[in-house]
Amino acid sequence: MRNQITLVIATLFTALGSAASAQSLIVVNQESATVSIVDPDAMTVTATIDEKQAPQVHAHEAAVSPDGRTLYLPIYGDTGIGHAGVDGRELLFVDLPSRKITGSLDFGHGVRPHLPVVDPNTGLVYVTNELDKRVAIIDPKSRAVIGAVPTGAEGTHMLVLSHDGRFGYTANVKPGSLSVLDLVARKTLAVIPIADMAQRVAISADDRMVFISDNTRPRLAVVDTATHSVRQWIDLPGLGYGAAATRDGRWLLIAIPSVNAVALIDLRAMKVERTIPVAEAPQEILIRPDGRTAYVSCAGSGSVAVIDIASWKPVRNIPTAAGADGLAWANR
């Protein structure tokens, strides 16, 4: 009997350990104002979180705490960038194990908070405040704004961090520039003109290059982070959108919504190697931490395309909800 009880307890702890180490793909669905929790191995939606906002007011992007327990969800508003509408002013905190909203942070006025990024080195949360031309710094323990970094440009939309957390780079939609931020000194180091419009930004695995698309012409700017200047341009098969670099530093994947594809850029040759077909209107790309899989949110089809990195072939399309956009990864 005792051996049976021991076996049951051991089995229970094994199951709990497996659950604790599980991973989830987070998908922010703009048009339905929901968040889908996806089991990346089963490739199925396991839960849906309602943002509980007024009709049409929704989030665009999300980030997850290093322990995988808290989802940070800025409520942007009821429209897209550059259009009149309700200006969002809060950041929601969602407990992922219970799938419940546990609190919010009010920025004090409408700022259109857009992209949250967690610095894994410090645990601090950075959130772009589009209308205030800044990046807010949030202490996740006190759930309060503890500072800000000015970007020196309108339309501060997307943000990437250097891997040591020292520098930040923001895409400023109009006037189409890239801001270089010293996150420690909390100041702007440079504002680099790119194009008439530029929305998304990505960084190389070695932090030497930042990539930002010209959203008026089918080309990608490669910015040298040492000199704060455009090193070169790469031609694209359409206007570029969300991008992500592979961990080995060899490839950059970039969404091309106009042709329903992902362009694969060889970072040694600095040119597009091939295109990978995906569902309608790809938006954002997230590479799984093990480096084997890329996930592409496809707003037009309300789904996430799954690409096998070894073969560069699409292997599945996971239905989520209308307007699939922001992606995040949760280790728990």
> Which residue from 167, 57, 67, 166 is spatially nearest to 113, judged by alpha carbons?
57
> What are the distances in angstroms from CA 330 to CA 16, 100, 138, 305?
17, 15, 19, 18
Segment 65-70 shows an average pLDDT of: 96
In a domain, 302, yes or no: no
Q: What is the pLDDT of residues 204-249, one digit of tens each?
A: 999 999 999 999 999 999 999 999 999 999 999 999 999 999 999 9
CATH number, position 60: 2.130.10.10
Asked if residue 313 has pLDDT above 80, the reply is yes
Residue 173 has what pLDDT?
A: 96
User: Predicted confidence band at 56 (pLDDT cuts at 50, 70, 90)?
Assistant: confident
98 in any annotated domain? yes
What is the identity of the amino acid at 114?
H
257: three-class secondary structure by DSSP? helix
* Contact present, 168 and 181 (Cβ < 8 Å): yes
Give one word for 143, left, alpha or beta, with left for phi > 0 and alpha for psi -120 to 50.
Answer: left
Cβ(167)–Cβ(180) below 8 Å: yes
* Residues making up the chain, counted from first to last: 332
Contact between 240 and 220 under an 8 Å Cβ cutoff? The reply is: yes
State the residue range of the domain holding 78.
54-185
The answer as to whether 201 is a domain residue is no
> Is 154 part of a structural domain of the chain?
yes
Domain count, the chain: 1
Whole-angstrom Cα Rg for the chain = 20
The pTM of this model reads 0.92
The type of residue at 154 is E
- pLDDT for 55 equals 72
Q: Tell whether 142 is covered by a domain.
A: yes
User: Which pLDDT score, from 0 to 100, does residue 187 have?
Assistant: 98
